[in-house]
Amino acid sequence: MNKQLSLTRLVLAVISTAAEEVAIWAIWRWMLPEFGIALHVGVLIGVMIAWGALSIWLFIFTSRALKKQATVGLPSMVGSTGKAAGNLAPEGMVKIRGELWGAVSEQGNIAAGEGILVVGENGLKLIVRKIAGNPTR
């Protein structure tokens, strides 16, 4: 399915680029002379090559961007640091990247404001451990 989608996007990109190239040629051939603008055929060829190169670059760039999977949710939180939003005894709330998360301390109680490190996840709760110093993220 993914290969089929990539092939479809490639075909559509080729068709749209060809249509754009035809439009550039039509503007050069009929529209510019209406305004008294006469450009050498070399200018037309240069513009068309540049537009084709830009189209190829955009296709490659967007294809790579679309293939990347964003990691979100609890599994992506492992390794993150934050602060205890309240006392964890051993359960409570932590603040990571400006968001509040339910958490369980793996090493006992953690006071509000202390730095924490996410070491895992259990269901919908993060498993955290106290770290020395201020959190960096």
pLDDT, tens digit only, all 137 positions of the chain: 578 888 899 999 999 999 999 999 999 999 999 999 999 999 999 999 999 999 999 999 998 888 887 666 667 788 889 999 999 888 999 999 888 999 999 988 899 999 999 999 888 889 999 997 655 44
Give the CATH architecture of domain 74-130.
Answer: Beta Barrel (2.40)
Residue 121 near residue 94 (C-beta atoms within 8 A)? no
Residue ranges of domains in the chain: 2-67, 74-130
> How large is the angle between the packed helices 2-26 and 41-67, nearest 10 degrees?
160
